Amino acid sequence: MTRRHDAQKFTMEHLRAVAERVSNWGRWGPDDEIGTLNFIGPEQVLDAARMVRKGKAISLGLNFDRSGPQRGLWGNRFNPIHSMLATGTDAVAGNQDAGGLRYADDMVSMPLQCGTQWDALGHIFFDDKMWNGYDARLVDTNGAAKNGIEKVKHKMFGRGVLLDVARYLGVASLNDGDAVTCEDLDACAKSQGVEIRRGDFVIVRTGHMERCLAAGAWEGYAGGAAPGLAFETAEWIHRKEIAAICTDTWGCEVRPNETDDCTQPWHWVVIPKIGITMGEIFNLKELADDCEQDRVYEFLFTAPPLPITHAVGSPINPMAVK
């Protein structure tokens, strides 16, 4: 049903042509740092609240711990390291009593994109530029002087729509290399009886994470082959004027790449050119089960990022409220 990633490999010329077509640079002025989150206004926020019909909140966050998906395949990422700064064993040993309070305290060291997360607009570059045409060199070891995640700290609230492509296709999980096309997205929405509106948070379920969880092995989940959005969906995203796009995979787009000429071509275009914030590694099982049961695929969605100054991503605990 879905297209294979290698059905027809495209060239950089095609990539660049699409990038030009879908570019939103300047659309919200030269100083914009939030991109398609501009599609969310008071109306969309009110609309989101109207989605709450039965009073059920569902977390889409994978727990953050050392059993996370990072397996050293990609970049310098690692699983979260949680360590304790004070413990109950210290407390019961009496070691804290001079201070008059018995407590535990802790810290974490983690890549901001090691688990369920937002990619900030400063995360991916197109040639020497990032979203809205800012120079990529504005992101240095001091962080992202432009397009940092802290710029969107009040924006991650709106109407959410689940497109359960796996269920639509009648499979537990798409296969690695399966490319979800624009037609797939439209047909899935239609079959679910839900419409995509401007300013929506669109969440696509491939079943990939559940496949790994069921197998008890992440293997190539983070950085390897995966089902995911076809490159062409960049045009769908642009046309639909959605606020954000999220999936239950590591990198949203299909892997292996649909081109031999670069890596993650969809990323090249979608973040820097469309200016859309991307959600990855979403845990969709509970939401998908609920939607299958009540046949309602829309909901209030919120996933406030940690406003880490100048960060290019943030771990999140997204919530769908129905």
How many residues bind a copy of itself (CB under 8 A)? The answer is 109
If 0-12 CB within 10 Å is exposed, 13-18 middle and 19+ buried, where does residue 101 land?
A: exposed
**Sign (positive/negative) of CA torsion 107, 123, 246, 196?**
positive
d(CA 126, CA 136): 8
Q: Which residues of 38-65 are buried (b: 16+ CB within 10 A; e: fewer)?
A: bbbeeebeebbeebeeeeeebebbbebe
Residue ranges in 46-105 that form contacts with a copy of itself under rule CB under 8 A? 46, 48-59, 61-66, 72, 75-78, 80-93, 95, 99-105
- Least distance (Å) from a copy of itself to the CB of residue 172? 24
Q: Identify which of residues 27 and 82 has a Cβ nearer to a copy of itself in the complex.
A: 82
Question: Minimum CB separation from a copy of itself for residue 196, in Å?
Answer: 20
The dihedral over CA atoms of 293, 296, 297, 299, expressed in degrees to the nearest 10, equals -120
- Segment 130 to 169, residues that bind a copy of itself, using CB under 8 A: 130, 135-144, 150, 153-157
We find the least distance from the C-beta atom of residue 242 to a copy of itself, in angstroms, to be: 17
Closest distance between a copy of itself and the C-beta of residue 142, in Å?
A: 7
Nearer CB in complex with a copy of itself: 2/264: 264
B/e letters for 167-181, b = 16+ CB within 10 Å, e = fewer, are bbbebebbebbbbbb
Using DSSP's 3-state secondary structure scheme, residue 276 falls into coil
Q: Is 319 in the site for a copy of itself (CB under 8 A)?
A: yes
Find out whether 158 and 44 touch, Cβ atoms under 8 Å: yes
Q: What is the x/- site pattern for a copy of itself, positions 241-280, by CB under 8 A?
A: ----------------x---xxxx--xx------------
Contacts to a copy of itself from residues 114-133, by CB under 8 A: 122-128, 130
Name which of 168 and 268 has its Cβ closer to a copy of itself: 268
Helix (H) or strand (E) holding 157: strand 157-164
Torsion sign over Cα 256, 260, 266, 271: positive
Q: Which span sits near a copy of itself by CB under 8 A: 181-189, 190-198, 227-235, 311-319?
A: 311-319
Window 282 to 301, contacts with a copy of itself (CB under 8 A) = 300
Phi first, then psi, for residue 195 (nearest 5°) are -110, 150
Instruction: Point out which span in 43-51, 178-186, 189-197, 227-235 binds a copy of itself (CB under 8 A).
Output: 43-51
Decide whether 177 or 305 has the Cβ nearer to a copy of itself. 305
